[in-house]
Amino acid sequence: MWEMINEFSKWLGTTQLSHNMAGGWKWGWATCETLHFIGLALLIGCIGVLDLRMLGFAKHIPPAAVHKMVPFGVAGFAINAITGALFFIGAPFQYVNNIAFLFKMLFIVIAGFNILFFYLGGVFKQIEAMGPDDEPPTSAKVVSWVSIIAWFGVMYWGRMLPFVGNAF
Protein backbone atom coordinates (compact mmCIF):
# COMPACT_ATOMS: atom_id res chain seq x y z
CA MET A 1 0.00 0.00 0.00
CA TRP A 2 2.89 2.41 0.79
CA GLU A 3 4.16 1.70 -2.72
CA MET A 4 0.84 2.87 -4.15
CA ILE A 5 0.72 5.95 -1.95
CA ASN A 6 4.26 6.85 -2.97
CA GLU A 7 3.49 6.40 -6.66
CA PHE A 8 0.34 8.48 -6.31
CA SER A 9 2.22 11.23 -4.45
CA LYS A 10 4.93 11.27 -7.12
CA TRP A 11 2.27 11.65 -9.78
CA LEU A 12 0.53 14.40 -7.78
CA GLY A 13 3.84 16.29 -7.68
CA THR A 14 4.02 16.31 -11.48
CA THR A 15 0.61 17.94 -11.95
CA GLN A 16 0.18 21.57 -12.94
CA LEU A 17 -1.84 22.27 -9.80
CA SER A 18 1.03 20.98 -7.66
CA HIS A 19 3.51 23.29 -9.38
CA ASN A 20 1.12 26.20 -9.02
CA MET A 21 0.72 25.58 -5.29
CA ALA A 22 4.46 25.16 -4.79
CA GLY A 23 5.37 28.54 -6.20
CA GLY A 24 3.65 28.87 -9.58
CA TRP A 25 1.00 31.01 -7.99
CA LYS A 26 3.14 33.42 -6.00
CA TRP A 27 0.59 33.85 -3.20
CA GLY A 28 -1.13 30.47 -3.48
CA TRP A 29 0.45 28.84 -0.45
CA ALA A 30 0.21 31.93 1.78
CA THR A 31 -3.45 32.48 0.83
CA CYS A 32 -4.35 28.88 1.61
CA GLU A 33 -2.49 29.06 4.96
CA THR A 34 -4.50 32.15 5.86
CA LEU A 35 -7.79 30.51 4.88
CA HIS A 36 -6.77 27.37 6.80
CA PHE A 37 -6.50 29.40 10.03
CA ILE A 38 -9.75 31.27 9.40
CA GLY A 39 -11.45 27.90 8.85
CA LEU A 40 -9.86 26.63 12.06
CA ALA A 41 -11.31 29.45 14.17
CA LEU A 42 -14.74 29.08 12.56
CA LEU A 43 -14.75 25.34 13.29
CA ILE A 44 -13.50 25.62 16.89
CA GLY A 45 -15.88 28.48 17.74
CA CYS A 46 -19.07 27.21 16.15
CA ILE A 47 -18.61 23.57 17.21
CA GLY A 48 -17.16 24.68 20.57
CA VAL A 49 -20.32 26.55 21.63
CA LEU A 50 -22.36 23.35 21.13
CA ASP A 51 -19.74 21.26 22.94
CA LEU A 52 -19.73 23.64 25.91
CA ARG A 53 -23.54 23.70 26.07
CA MET A 54 -23.62 19.89 26.02
CA LEU A 55 -21.12 19.88 28.88
CA GLY A 56 -23.50 22.03 30.91
CA PHE A 57 -22.14 25.55 30.33
CA ALA A 58 -24.45 28.39 29.26
CA LYS A 59 -27.46 26.36 30.33
CA HIS A 60 -29.99 29.06 29.46
CA ILE A 61 -29.46 28.29 25.78
CA PRO A 62 -31.73 25.55 24.37
CA PRO A 63 -29.31 23.05 22.74
CA ALA A 64 -31.41 22.93 19.54
CA ALA A 65 -30.83 26.70 19.19
CA VAL A 66 -27.07 26.57 19.65
CA HIS A 67 -27.03 23.71 17.11
CA LYS A 68 -27.82 26.38 14.47
CA MET A 69 -24.13 27.37 14.70
CA VAL A 70 -23.00 23.94 13.47
CA PRO A 71 -23.35 24.68 9.70
CA PHE A 72 -20.76 27.45 10.15
CA GLY A 73 -18.42 24.99 11.85
CA VAL A 74 -18.97 22.63 8.92
CA ALA A 75 -18.15 25.52 6.54
CA GLY A 76 -14.90 26.01 8.48
CA PHE A 77 -14.11 22.33 8.06
CA ALA A 78 -14.89 22.50 4.32
CA ILE A 79 -12.52 25.46 3.89
CA ASN A 80 -9.82 23.49 5.69
CA ALA A 81 -10.42 20.26 3.80
CA ILE A 82 -10.02 22.12 0.49
CA THR A 83 -6.99 24.19 1.49
CA GLY A 84 -5.49 21.11 3.20
CA ALA A 85 -5.89 19.06 0.03
CA LEU A 86 -4.17 21.88 -1.89
CA PHE A 87 -1.18 21.77 0.50
CA PHE A 88 -0.96 18.02 0.01
CA ILE A 89 -1.12 18.35 -3.76
CA GLY A 90 1.48 21.14 -3.68
CA ALA A 91 4.04 19.25 -1.60
CA PRO A 92 2.95 15.61 -1.17
CA PHE A 93 6.27 14.46 0.28
CA GLN A 94 6.01 16.92 3.15
CA TYR A 95 3.04 14.85 4.31
CA VAL A 96 3.32 11.21 3.26
CA ASN A 97 5.71 9.40 5.61
CA ASN A 98 5.24 12.27 8.09
CA ILE A 99 4.03 10.76 11.37
CA ALA A 100 2.47 14.06 12.45
CA PHE A 101 0.30 14.07 9.31
CA LEU A 102 -0.81 10.51 10.02
CA PHE A 103 -1.83 11.47 13.55
CA LYS A 104 -3.60 14.59 12.32
CA MET A 105 -5.67 12.50 9.91
CA LEU A 106 -6.33 9.94 12.66
CA PHE A 107 -7.75 12.64 14.93
CA ILE A 108 -9.93 13.95 12.09
CA VAL A 109 -11.27 10.40 11.61
CA ILE A 110 -11.97 10.17 15.37
CA ALA A 111 -13.85 13.49 15.18
CA GLY A 112 -15.75 12.14 12.16
CA PHE A 113 -16.88 8.95 13.92
CA ASN A 114 -17.84 11.04 16.94
CA ILE A 115 -20.09 13.19 14.71
CA LEU A 116 -21.62 10.04 13.16
CA PHE A 117 -22.35 8.73 16.65
CA PHE A 118 -23.82 12.10 17.65
CA TYR A 119 -26.33 12.12 14.77
CA LEU A 120 -26.97 8.40 14.22
CA GLY A 121 -26.56 7.17 17.79
CA GLY A 122 -29.56 9.14 19.04
CA VAL A 123 -27.63 11.80 20.98
CA PHE A 124 -28.78 14.64 18.71
CA LYS A 125 -32.44 13.57 19.12
CA GLN A 126 -32.11 13.75 22.92
CA ILE A 127 -30.35 17.10 22.73
CA GLU A 128 -32.91 18.55 20.32
CA ALA A 129 -35.72 17.75 22.71
CA MET A 130 -34.03 19.49 25.64
CA GLY A 131 -35.20 22.84 26.91
CA PRO A 132 -33.17 25.62 28.47
CA ASP A 133 -31.67 24.78 31.87
CA ASP A 134 -31.93 21.00 31.25
CA GLU A 135 -28.95 18.97 32.36
CA PRO A 136 -27.40 17.20 29.35
CA PRO A 137 -27.30 13.37 29.35
CA THR A 138 -23.99 11.58 29.90
CA SER A 139 -23.84 10.48 26.26
CA ALA A 140 -23.84 14.15 25.19
CA LYS A 141 -21.06 14.95 27.65
CA VAL A 142 -18.95 12.09 26.29
CA VAL A 143 -19.52 13.28 22.71
CA SER A 144 -18.45 16.81 23.73
CA TRP A 145 -15.27 15.67 25.42
CA VAL A 146 -14.33 13.45 22.46
CA SER A 147 -15.02 16.39 20.13
CA ILE A 148 -12.86 18.81 22.15
CA ILE A 149 -10.00 16.31 22.52
CA ALA A 150 -10.17 15.31 18.84
CA TRP A 151 -10.05 18.91 17.52
CA PHE A 152 -7.30 19.88 19.96
CA GLY A 153 -5.43 16.80 18.71
CA VAL A 154 -5.93 17.94 15.12
CA MET A 155 -4.51 21.40 15.99
CA TYR A 156 -1.59 19.88 17.93
CA TRP A 157 -0.56 17.47 15.18
CA GLY A 158 -1.15 20.10 12.52
CA ARG A 159 1.28 22.38 14.31
CA MET A 160 3.74 19.49 14.66
CA LEU A 161 3.84 18.90 10.88
CA PRO A 162 7.03 20.94 10.34
CA PHE A 163 8.71 19.69 13.53
CA VAL A 164 8.15 15.93 13.62
CA GLY A 165 8.98 13.52 10.84
CA ASN A 166 10.44 14.99 7.67
CA ALA A 167 10.68 18.72 8.26
CA PHE A 168 9.45 21.29 5.77
**Residues found near other proteins in the complex (CB under 8 A):** 13, 18-19, 21-23, 29-30, 33-34, 37-38, 40-46, 48-49, 52, 57-58, 60-62, 64-69, 72, 90-94, 132, 151-152, 155-156, 158-160, 162-163, 167-168
CB of 117 to other proteins, least distance (A): 23
What count of Cα atoms within 13 Å lies in the side-chain half-sphere of residue 13? Answer: 12
With residues binned 3-state (H G I as helix, E B as strand, rest as coil), the percentages for the chain, rounded to 5, are 80, 0, 20
Taking the CA atoms of 33, 114, 117 and 126 in sequence, report the sign of the dihedral they define. negative
Question: Which of 21/150 has CB closer to other proteins?
Answer: 21
CB of 4 to other proteins, least distance (A): 19
Question: Which of 2/163 has CB closer to other proteins?
Answer: 163
Contact yes or no for 21/29 (Cβ under 8 A): yes
Query: Which residues, 6+ apart, have CB-to-CB distance to 79 below 8 Å?
Result: 35, 36, 38, 39, 42
How many residues are given for the chain?
Answer: 168
CB of 132 to other proteins, least distance (A): 8
Question: Which of 30/82 has CB closer to other proteins?
Answer: 30
Question: Which of 61/102 has CB closer to other proteins?
Answer: 61
